């Protein structure tokens, strides 16, 4: 069964303290892995798509990487405005269109 596991569930960082969020996935064949940011009560905001192992994407203080079993979202020198829940989703190649989401990592960055 296709599934996505994110860790840790919650993370508290001091401003400027870099860290990484993990997304482990089990899927029959990977069409794409997607990272989203979600603020409380809002819809997920698209961040990155990764398609193949070894691929990396960057945006401001965020960098996403992909291996055959997991993805990491690296946050460099975070600021309080980076506080949000970060969601990871996968889409399989087996004739499916749905995204399978993890439960997310709640990030709190303290000033």
Partner 1 sequence: DAGVTQSPTHLIKTRGQQVTLRCSPKSGHDTVSWYQQALGQGPQFIFQYYEEEERQRGNFPDRFSGHQFPNYSSELNVNALLLGDSALYLCASSPGRLAGGTSYNEQFFGPGTRLTVL
Q: How far apart are CA 101 and CA 110, in angstroms?
A: 27
Query: Does 69 sit near partner 1 (CB under 8 A)?
Result: no
Binding to partner 1 (CB under 8 A) within 80-99 occurs at 87, 89, 91, 96-99
DSSP string, 6-71: EE-SEEEEETT--EEEEEEEE-SSEEEEEEEEE-TTS--EEEEEE-STT-EEEETTEEEEE-SSEE
Tell me the closest approach of the beta carbon of residue 20 to partner 1, in angstroms.
19
Binding to partner 1 (CB under 8 A) within 1-60 occurs at 4, 31-32, 34, 36, 41-46, 49, 51
- Closer residue to partner 1 in complex, CB, 71/91: 91
Give the residues lining the site for partner 1 (CB under 8 A): 4, 31-32, 34, 36, 41-46, 49, 51, 87, 89, 91, 96-104
């Amino acid at each position: 069964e296709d599934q996505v596991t994110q860790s840790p569930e919650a993370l508290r960082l001091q401003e400027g303290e870099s860290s990484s969020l993990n997304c482990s996935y089990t899927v029959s064949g990977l069409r794409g892995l997607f990272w989203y940011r979600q603020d409380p009560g809002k819809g997920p905001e698209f961040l990155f798509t990764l398609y193949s192992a070894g691929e990396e994407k960057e945006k401001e203080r965020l960098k996403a990487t992909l291996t055959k079993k997991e993805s990491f979202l690296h946050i460099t020198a975070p600021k309080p405005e980076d506080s949000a829940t970060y969601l990871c989703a996968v889409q399989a190649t087996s004739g499916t269109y749905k995204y399978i989401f993890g439960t997310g990592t709640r990030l709190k960055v303290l000033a």
